[in-house]
């Protein structure tokens, strides 16, 4: 099976924030699955913060915000990332969203800034 370049560029890199946050569930005493009231908001906030960092630093080409600055959820594909953005992912920048730094208010972007500065320094 041959995969062409266009198919690779349409490969989904990030699912929607709601899809990812929705995976955090708890089982009630009577055995029903329900949204985790602690983890879903934390996951949602850190994932939105990650997308904001990527947008603010020119690492994605599709804005996750509307004209009013409101977050617009959606999937992001390989073609939506710049080369620096893809390199951030190769260097495990996504792990930041599970870190204590991501849970702070406002989020602590220093770990992401460090990775980005290393990428940009190496490109010079």
Enclosing domain of residue 75: 5-123
Cα(58)–Cα(82) distance, rounded to whole angstroms? 7
Q: Where are the alpha helices (DSSP H) in the chain?
A: 5-9, 17-21, 39-56, 83-90, 100-103, 110-123
Average per-residue pLDDT in the chain? Answer: 92
Contact indicator for 84, 22 with CB cutoff of 8 Å = no
16-34 pLDDT, tens digit per residue, is 999 999 999 999 999 999 9
Whole-number pLDDT of residue 98: 87
pLDDT in tens, 57-84: 999 999 999 999 999 999 999 999 999 9
Number of domains in the chain: 1
* Residues found in the chain: 124
């Amino acid at each position: 099976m041959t995969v062409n370049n266009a198919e690779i560029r349409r490969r989904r890199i990030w699912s929607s924030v709601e899809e990812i946050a929705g995976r955090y569930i708890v089982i009630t005493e009577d055995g029903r699955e329900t949204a985790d009231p602690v983890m879903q908001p934390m996951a949602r906030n850190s994932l939105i913060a990650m997308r904001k960092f990527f947008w603010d630093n020119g690492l994605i080409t599709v804005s996750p915000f509307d004209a009013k600055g409101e977050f617009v959820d959606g999937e992001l594909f390989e073609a939506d990332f710049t080369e620096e953005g893809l390199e951030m992912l190769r260097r495990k920048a996504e792990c930041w969203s599970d870190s204590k730094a991501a849970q702070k208010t406002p989020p602590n972007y220093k770990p992401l800034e460090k990775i980005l500065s290393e990428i940009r320094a190496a490109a010079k």
